Structure 1
Amino acid sequence: MPVTPPACVDITNSRPRVRDDLQITVHRDRQGEPWFRIVRPRAARSQRERFLRVGTAEYALLSHCDGQRTLEQARTAAALQHDPQRLSPERVEALLLWAQREGLLTGDHQQDDAARQAQTSGKQSLTWIRVPLLHGGPWLNSLVRLTGWVFSPLFALLAVTLWGLAMGVAISDYARLTEDLRAILTPAGWLRLAIVWVGLKLIHEAAHAISCHKFGGRVGEIGVAWMIVAPVAYVDLTDVYRIPSRWRRMVTSLAGVYVELTVAAVALLGWSQTHSPTAAYLLSTIAMTAGLASVLFNLNPLMRLDGYFALTDWLDRPNLATDAQATLRGAVAWLCLGIRPKRTHFGGSAWGLLVYGIGSLGYRISVITALLIAGIQMYQQAGMLLAAIVIVTLLARPLYQTLRSVVMTTRQRPAALLRLTGVVALVAAVSLAATRIPYPSETGWEAVTEFVDDAPVRAQAAGFVAQVHVRDGQSVQAGEPLVVLENRSLAVQLAAARAQWQTALANSRYHRQQHETGQAIANQRTAAALGQRVEDLQSQIEHLTVRAPRAGVVIAEDLEHSLGQWTDEGQAIGYVVDPAAIKAIVAVPQSKLDGLSDRLQQPLQVVVGEQRIPATLISIAEQTSSVAPHPCLAATAGGPLATRPQEDPRAGELLEPHLKLEVRLTQPPRSARGGQPARVVSQQR
């Protein structure tokens, strides 16, 4: 909140001189009126170039500030050229102070300001460390000849058509698309996602460079930047203002998103036609990364990315973020210290700039916070050290300037301290009151959906699969045959057992007729044992036909491909489930068991995707366990529960024991399937 007064200028006798190194281009607004863009060169390589906009009368006055004329003489000379637009003395004074503040004039105090800006801005921010690799130049001509047609109107029409077709595919096959995207959550999926992301970012930045060069702009540095936790590619398009057409400048700003969306559309259309699981996963990953992620991240105008620069050209305001920040600082200075904002030269709606400044600041804070949290999770202690350094670097200078400005202002105007105290007290009171309001809160635990009938259908006899009567997803009735097995050895054993049984019965009758009671009893016992053997073999032969134990839907993905395969006794054939009977298997960490019984008394909901479904408690395990309640919950299967590394003697066990709960959903989710990630929440008031 810097509020230090500008350097004093003797308006009457001053002979201002405009710097010789300013770059000036002429543009026209929507009404066709000319305006002039002034580019102030950088005082340091890492400093952003400052874009300034002036009208015809202001430009005429500045063009006559040659160091020989006084300000009044320059004003008179400008009026001879543009008498209808002659500036008043007040506007001349404001323009001169603004030009001095922006570093457009030469002089000792301006040189000191430039040196000070070079010193303060010459240091790279820890949130954005650039490593230049090459510069644009004539070598881009060959790329423009090869790929410049991508930015032609005809191809743009084709690209828009592809976007529409791809959107239709995504909507019509949404369930399958989300199912394929689940593979990204696996450890191998993250690696492949990173590789795809790097490739797409290279294409993205190449599109910016090629479009800028094609339309007549000059491409600056091309390199890699470190953004807190990860490297990103960048292209310096500061000189895009050299492109006269505002629409072409906007195309250059949006070129990366335009190409990525086209790549995403082609990938999505290819995904809809492929039957290979590997190709489907790769194409869906490309479509998601190049489409949704690019739109959400790059088109956001609240950060200095593609959407922001397109918006600045649309509004004819090249310094939108800087002007908004200045407006926000001025509003805070007025609110806290009663200092009226300086009269600005950039014009425009102050309320619009204020709203944009607040939104931009809030979004920037949220992004940096999210990146720091990600860095801590990725790099552990090193990430915490990096986060501390970044926070100190970002806050130290603004806090120092704010405190310095507050001290200077309160010394000059003691009443401002009373106003500041009142504002701070009001903010503290509102914050305290907000913390005392009883907001509804949620306690959540990781879970996985599963069918209530999760016991598999098992073969009760061994044999080769001879017939398959059902397929995956088919509805069946209780007792309906699923699979027929074939085991000829059972038939041979049954025939032999029957022959032995009949022989034992005949021998028993013979010895009874001969009044040989002992031999008769022995043969009768043998016959009874052989009879039981015959019944067992008959039962096994009957069980060679595996039947549905209940009415429901068959879940057995590879059942149709099992013909001719050997099946052991007790081996799982598949599942027959009721698709409307869904439960969630919940994992509660041991560290969060306190008060669990009270939370379970509150209404429970299962969050599956965007659905919230009421649920009732079924069972609670007697004790915690280091084994995941469901295989899909473990990190080794892409789940949220951390497990011990492979080199650990107890590899695969959970780092923290968890308690297993089971809750039943009152209704099935839209896409009912087992192993679906979910979260069980308990409402608290």
Structure 2
Amino acid sequence: MISSPPKLRDELEVIRGMDDIPLIFDPVTGNYHRITRSSELVLTYLDGTRTRDDLVAFFSRPDPARADALGKQLDNFLADLEKSGLLEGADLPDKASEGGRIRTSMLMPRIILTRSLPRALEPLAAALRAVPAKLLVLVASLVAICGYAFGLSTLFMAMPPMRELAGPAFLLATGVMLFFVLMHESAHALVAQILGAPVRGLGVALLFYFMPVAYVDRTDAYRVRERGGRVVLAMAGILSDGWFCGLTGVFALSSEGLLRDTAAFLLGMQLLMLVINLNPMMPSDGYTALEAATGLTNARGRAFALLRHTAKRQQLPAHLANLTRGARRGHMAYGLISVIYVCFLAYATFHALPVTVDLALSAVGR
């Protein structure tokens, strides 16, 4: 139990984030802590002048019979604040050094390549802020859709089968694709910069300690309050890929030999990247955009819990039983689409495996 008068640390910032959700920002650790609106009210009284008992008595004045229940809730809340290092005198949680470039987390160590993106992107971001936001999003979306349509139609209608392409082209395409991935992440960073929530760094994460994945640290995206802005931030990389897909299609049609083969491989990789980024089963850009647009959290978990309980004819838990009929149907539809999507990926992967093995062997001269 907190005995001394609890007090929030002076440097903490209480803000309203996405969907007007209250957050506590700790500038020392760089972490955001989500709280309820009722908890936000309690924070205003944690000024070090009231003890725990004073607070219980104050909040239970209309109904003294609720003092015990309020006391337990307050104890839990204060314990969480202390554990997170948000109260004066509490130990701060361990944090990576601000200057460090290597951070570790379960199954995904991260290497920060640069923290200078906000400074590098600000001139472009400032110019784009002068353009009406809706017009900017409309143009970016239309060009991306046209780019995907043109590039992928070129892949399937104008390019030779993958088995007939030269092996060295695969290695060249892989190198160019790494640049496209960098541009994908930079697009997220640019939109964050435009929205006033600059990224903290650009780096490489090693998924399962061996698979390199580029990423930008968008922790401060919590400050973006409008759903539309968060959707665009999530979709920025996919839109960027659409532009490059169109350019690759133009290059593929206007070149021959090794260059054409390289462009063909690139189009195939861009198709794969689109499939991955729209995967509803993973925390992909598409899934993040869906959550941002709907305001839901853990939509995937709810959807599969509904499917599982429905298939087994089990009673729904309270958090699912209280969903409206429309919300329940939406979650069910999302779950079914996810299952179909995974089945399609499994089918495509099985049929693409022989071609993939041939390409790998040809790339090393076998």
**TM-score band, normalised by the shorter chain?**
0.5 to 0.7
For residue 7 of structure 2, the aligned residue among 17, 27, 48 is: 17
Structure holding more helix per residue: 2
Aligned to 2:69: 90
Q: Could you tell me how far apart the structure 1 residues matched to 2:164 and 2:136 are? A: 33
Q: For 1:241, which of 222, 228, 231 is the aligned residue?
A: 222
Letter in 2 for 1:39: F
Q: Which residue, out of 284, 295, 300, partners 2:274?
A: 295
Contact 2:56 2:70 in 1 (8 A): no
Aligned to 1:193: 173
Note closer, same or farther for the CA distance 1:177–1:39 as it changes in structure 2 (3 Å cut). Answer: farther
Equivalent position of 1:274 in the other structure: 254
Taking the aligned partners of 1:201 and 1:124, their CA distance within structure 2 comes to: 22
> Is the 8 Å Cα contact of residues 152 and 249 (structure 2) preserved in structure 1?
no
Q: C-alpha separation between the residues in 1 aligned to 2:283 and 2:198? A: 19
> Aligned partners of 1:116 and 1:189: how far apart in 2?
46
Task: Report if the CA contact (8 A) 2:8-2:46 is conserved.
Answer: yes
Specify whether residues 315 and 38 from structure 1 end up closer, same or farther in structure 2 by C-alpha distance, changes over 3 A only: farther
Q: 2:61 aligned with 1:61, yes or no?
A: no
Partner of residue 339, structure 2: none
Which residue among 289, 300, 319 is the counterpart of 1:310? Answer: 289
Residue-pair matches, total: 320
Q: 1:194 to 1:217 in 2, by over 3 A?
A: same
Offset of 1:61 from its aligned partner? Answer: 1.2
1:36 match:
22
Post-superposition shift, 1:97? 0.8
Pick the aligned partner of 1:127 from 84, 105, 108.
108
Corresponding letter in the other structure for 1:281:
D
Work out whether 1:221 is the aligned partner of 2:201: yes
Query: Which secondary structure does the structure 1 equivalent of 2:35 belong to?
Result: strand
Stretches of structure 1 lacking an aligned partner (at least 5 in a row): 1-8, 329-343, 360-365, 367-606, 611-631, 647-651, 653-685
Name the SS for the 2:219 alignment partner: coil
Show CA shifts across 1:486-544 (max 9, x none): xxxxxxxxxxxxxxxxxxxxxxxxxxxxxxxxxxxxxxxxxxxxxxxxxxxxxxxxxxx
Structure ranking higher in strand proportion: 1
Structure 1 residues 523-602: aligned runs within 5 Å: none
- TM-score by structure 2 length? 0.65
Superposition deviation, residue 141 in structure 1? 2.0
| TM-score calculated relative to the size of structure 1 | 0.38
Distance 1:215 1:286 in 2: 31
SS at match of 1:66: coil
Task: Indicate the structure whose relative CO is greater, using CA pairs within 8 Å and at least 6 residues apart.
Answer: 2
Question: In percent, how many aligned pairs have the same letter?
Answer: 21
Amino acid at match of 2:186: A
Query: Is residue 180–residue 281 contact of structure 1 (8 Å, CA) maintained in 2?
Result: no
- The one-letter amino acid of 1:52's match is R
1:399-548 map, 5 Å = none
Residues 1:164 and 1:28: Cα distance change in structure 2 (over 3 Å): closer
Change (3 A) 1:40 1:307: farther
Query: How far off is 1:286 after superposition?
Result: 3.3
Deviation of 1:60 after TM superposition, in Å, equals: 0.8
Call closer, same or farther: CA 1:68–1:201 in 2, change over 3 Å: same
State whether residues 225 and 232 of structure 1, in contact with CA within 8 Å, keep that contact through their aligned partners in structure 2.
yes
Q: Does 1:26 align with 2:16?
A: yes
| Cα distance in structure 1, aligned partners of 2:132 and 2:243 | 12
Q: C-alpha separation between the residues in 2 aligned to 1:28 and 1:19?
A: 23
Cα deviation per residue 1:220-273 (whole Å; 9 max; x = unaligned)?
Answer: 1223344433444332221122333232122122211211122213433554x5
What is the DSSP-based 3-state SS (H/G/I as helix, E as strand, rest coil) of the residue aligned with 1:131?
strand
Deviates more, 1:168-177 or 1:92-101: 168-177
Q: Which amino acid aligns with 1:63?
A: T
Aligned to 2:186: 206
Match of 2:312 in 1: none
TM-aligned CA distance change 1:311 to 1:168, over 3 Å = closer
Name the SS for the 1:211 alignment partner. Answer: helix
CA 1:21–1:178 in structure 2 vs 1: closer, same or farther (change >3 Å)?
farther
User: In angstroms, what is the RMSD of aligned CA positions?
Assistant: 4.9
* CA deviation profile, 1:172-199 (whole Å, cap 9, x unmatched): 6665356354456x53133112212111
Amino acid at match of 1:284: A
What secondary structure does 1:250 align onto?
helix
* Change in CA separation of 1:314 and 1:14 when aligned onto 2, cut-off 3 Å: farther
Contact 2:9 2:87 in 1 (8 A): yes
Q: 1:143 aligns with which of 124, 129, 133?
A: 124
Q: Deviations over 1:334-393 (max 9, x none)?
A: xxxxxxxxxx9xxx98xx9xx9xxx9xxxxxx9xxxxxxxxxxxxxxxxxxxxxxxxxxx
Match of 1:52 in 2: 34
Residue 40 of structure 1 deviates from its aligned partner by 4.6
Amino acid paired to 1:191: L
Q: 1:189 to 1:308 in 2, by over 3 A?
A: same
Aligned-partner Cα distance in 2 for 1:244–1:214: 14
Greater Cα radius of gyration, structure 1 or 2: 1
Cα distance per residue 1:287-341 (max 9 Å; x no partner) = 3333x233232344554553454345335467x59xx7xxx9xxxxxxxxxxxxx
CA distance in 1, matches of 2:197, 2:55: 34
